[in-house]
Amino acid sequence: MSHELTLQLLDTHAGGDVSRIVIGGIDPLPGTTVREQMEYLENDADGLRKLLLNEPYGIPEMSVDLIVPAADPRAQMGYIIMEVMGYPVYSGSNTICTATALLETGLIPKREGIQRFTLESPAGLVQIEARVENGVVEAITCGGLPSYIDTHRATIHVPEVGDVTYSIAYSGGFYALVDAEALGFSLKREEERALAECAHRIVEAIQARSGFSHYTLGDVGPLPFLHFMGPVEQIADDFYRSRSATYVHPGVICRSTTGTGTSARLALMHYEGAIKPGDKLETISLRETGFIGEVVEVREAGGGHQVVENTITGKSYVLARSEIVVNCDDPMVDCGGVHHILSSRHQS
């Protein structure tokens, strides 16, 4: 090769879900907001997502977060989320990982104690609270997207599964929420493949029945997520715990319970009168990791929806700092959708 095309990465995980943070190697993207920059990637440079989530560089179970300059002057930095299903406008686990990566790389200077800053996601501004102890980012609390129930306890017949009762929540994407025990699951790690197969059938059936429209965003595409709910255990007057598992269509059971999955649970529990502002829910994954969601307040919006404002708290760990060499001569590498945004293409 006459020159190398490279990407600078920081691999992290929160709750077991790996987020690959792209911190260098990409040209500035067109767009006056982070949302417009995301749409440019989606429509004109989807090769970056495919490159880092497919062989030989990655696997579909990972996520990718591209750090970009914030367009809103109130934010310190921006980020774009990429997953196997496409471009979610928000993700709790990816936000926790991105905030940690920004602190660990010094892109946002790290300070001891409680540190607050603002990021710009494709969904808008996100408030971050970082707890730093002895130079270590011990916890990130991020604002979850306003969440609400679109459909409560509908029933659908699913081939090879039977009749399934589900609710639909919006929490950054539309989620089908189903009772794990009613489907024969105890939410243990050895059930992961069976959970994915079951969720795939349910999501396909719901997608074939109907789409869902957000009260301000409108049509945001086919149903992408399903969340298996375990029994809820009350730990204290204002603290609850539940085993959970989130599925991303097609085919992926997340290693964590996910931030948006936890926000969806908060919306459903509030809708059913099981939780109130100030209460917290810890969701526990197949790998025994957890996120803590808190109901901050509830308001009406969108023609009568009870919208739950919430936060998600978790911890991210750094896995690796690396520079990926993008070899366009490699027959396993498709540079067609990414070559034009790689900064290193200008180097000789």
pLDDT in tens, 3-17: 568 999 999 999 999
Residue 48 has pLDDT above 70, yes or no: yes
Answer whether 158's CB lies under 8 Å from 167's CB. Answer: no
Annotated active-site residue in 19, 91, 147, 256: 91
Cα of first residue to Cα of last residue in the chain, in angstroms, is 10
The residue type at 251: G
Per DSSP, helices labelled H in the chain are 34-44, 47-53, 92-104, 192-209, 259-271
Percent above pLDDT 90 for the chain: 84
Q: Which of 205, 237, 233, 210 is CA-nearest to residue 221? A: 210
91 in active site: yes
From CA 107, how far away is CA 77, in angstroms rounded? 9
Q: What is the pLDDT of residue 348?
A: 39
Residue pair 284/241 in contact (Cβ under 8 Å)? The answer is: yes
pLDDT (0 to 100) of residue 346: 53
pTM of structure: 0.92
Give 212-240 pLDDT, tens digit per residue: 999 888 887 889 999 999 999 999 999 99
- The runs of H, that is alpha helices, within 45-182 are 47-53, 92-104
Strand partners, 264: none
- pLDDT, tens digit, for every residue of 74-90? 999 999 999 988 998 89
